[in-house]
Structure formats: structure tokens, C-alpha cells
């Protein structure tokens, strides 16, 4: 089995929002047969953690030029546009 892709999930406090988002992404990617691990962090910690990530998913604004793909979305909280975001995540992680 290939090495799991790392998804860095960022929100304001790394407690509430990113917990929901990380859990949702894990479940959905498992369904799609994509091997991932998620890490949660505060938005302010992203620049120092981005190097090890294959993808960054955030619910709050982040600095630009992180050198990694970034998806900014509230879909896992509000449900709006969830399928599109999942497709986007899947495409990035399959590369």
C-alpha cells in the first residue's frame, strides 16, 4: 500500500471546525479508496506545517504562497458545495 497522503486541516482554534472537517474528509476518502492521514492545526500554524502536507484544507483565510494546494471551504459545515469539494480533494490526492 502506498504511503498515505497527508491532508493538513486548518481552522481558527484547531478544536471545533477542523475536527468536523478532518473527520468528514477521512470518511469520504476511505469510501473512495484513497489512503490519507489528516492533521489538524490552527491557521497560524499552517506555514510551519505545510511542507509535510500534500493538501491543505482550511475554513479560515490563510496566507498565500504556501507552496501546496489549498482548498478553502465551509462545505463540511454547511453542506453547500460538498460534492464539488470532495471531487476536488480526490483529484488532488490522486496525483
Partner 1 sequence: MDSTPLNLLDLLIPEAIALNFTAASAEAVIRHLAAALLRQGYVRETFAEAALEREARLPTGLRLSGEIHAAIPHTDIEHVLRPAVGLATLPEPVIFRNMIDPTDVVPVRLVFLLALEQPKSQVEMLQQVATILQNPQVVSDLVTAQTLEEVRRILAQVMPAQS
CB of 84 to partner 1, least distance (A): 14
- In the complex with partner 1, the residue whose CB is nearer, 44 or 51, is 44
| Active-site annotation holder among 7, 9, 10, 11 | 11
Chain residues in the site for partner 1 (CB under 8 A)? 12-20, 23-24, 40, 43, 59-61, 72-74, 76-80
41 given a catalytic annotation: no
- In the complex with partner 1, the residue whose CB is nearer, 3 or 76, is 76
Helix axes 17-31, 82-94, angle to 10 degrees: 70
Phi/psi zone of residue 33: left (φ > 0), alpha (ψ -120 to 50 degrees), beta? left
CB of 94 to partner 1, least distance (A): 25
Active site residues: 11
Amino acid at each position: 500500500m502506498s504511503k498515505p497522503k497527508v491532508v493538513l486541516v486548518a481552522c481558527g482554534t484547531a478544536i471545533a471546525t477542523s475536527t468536523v472537517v478532518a473527520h468528514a474528509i477521512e470518511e469520504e476518502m476511505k469510501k473512495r479508496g484513497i489512503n490519507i492521514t489528516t492533521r489538524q492545526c490552527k491557521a497560524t500554524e499552517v506555514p510551519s506545517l505545510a511542507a509535510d502536507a500534500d493538501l491543505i484544507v482550511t475554513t479560515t483565510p490563510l496566507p498565500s504562497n504556501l507552496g501546496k494546494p489549498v482548498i478553502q471551504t465551509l462545505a463540511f459545515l454547511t453542506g453547500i458545495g460538498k460534492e464539488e469539494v470532495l471531487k476536488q480533494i480526490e483529484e488532488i490526492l490522486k496525483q
